[in-house]
Amino acid sequence: MKVALDTNVLAYSEGVNGGARQSAAVAVLEQLPEDTAVIPLQALGELYNVLVRKAGWASDRARIAILAWRDAFSLAPTTEAAIVTALDLAADHRLGIWDSVMISVAADAGCRLLLSEDLQNGFSWRGVTVVNPFATPRHPLLEALWSNGARAP
């Protein structure tokens, strides 16, 4: 099962919003079976902004973090088709355009899950289900993913 990672999971892993969030995000990433996660390119751009503007990191430090994420995971591109599809998704479901792009890119990448704290937990579209990896109880799809090849937290 392929999984897309939203910006907040990456940002928390970098320590944005404190140590408790960082520990939770790192635990989520450690539970993912190898080679299942992809990062939408948009998430890397958003992460850079979060690190520099919100967390106050120097741009060089943020750049190094972004490149490390790029090297550690497969990337899912934002294509013209993904943008056009996201427009329909945003209009049909009253979602923000950038959230819609994230979902559209995840669908195009063949992901079954989009791990995000910021989107509606349980929202499904084109085979992608948005799951808050920090929510309890855990979503059944996340439980299934973790029970098929990863340690339980």
Contacts of 16 (CB under 8 A, 6+ apart): 22, 50, 51, 54, 55
- Supply the DSSP symbol for 54: I
User: In the structure encoding, which two tokens stand for residue 41, read together?
Assistant: 């390119």
Task: Specify the CATH number for the domain of residue 87.
Answer: 3.40.50.1010
Residue 152 resides in a domain: no
Residue 9 resides in a domain: yes
Query: Residue 81: helix, strand or coil by DSSP?
Result: helix
Residue 36 resides in a domain: yes
Report the alpha-carbon distance of residue 65 to residue 72 in Å, rounded. Answer: 11
Is this structure's pTM higher than 0.85?
yes
The total of structural domains in the chain comes to 1
Per-residue pLDDT of the chain in tens (153 residues, 90 and over written 9)? 999 999 999 999 999 998 999 999 999 999 998 899 999 999 999 999 999 999 999 999 999 999 999 999 999 999 999 999 999 999 999 999 999 999 999 999 999 999 999 888 999 999 999 999 999 888 999 988 888 754 433
Q: What domain range includes position 10?
A: 3-147
Residue 135 resides in a domain: yes
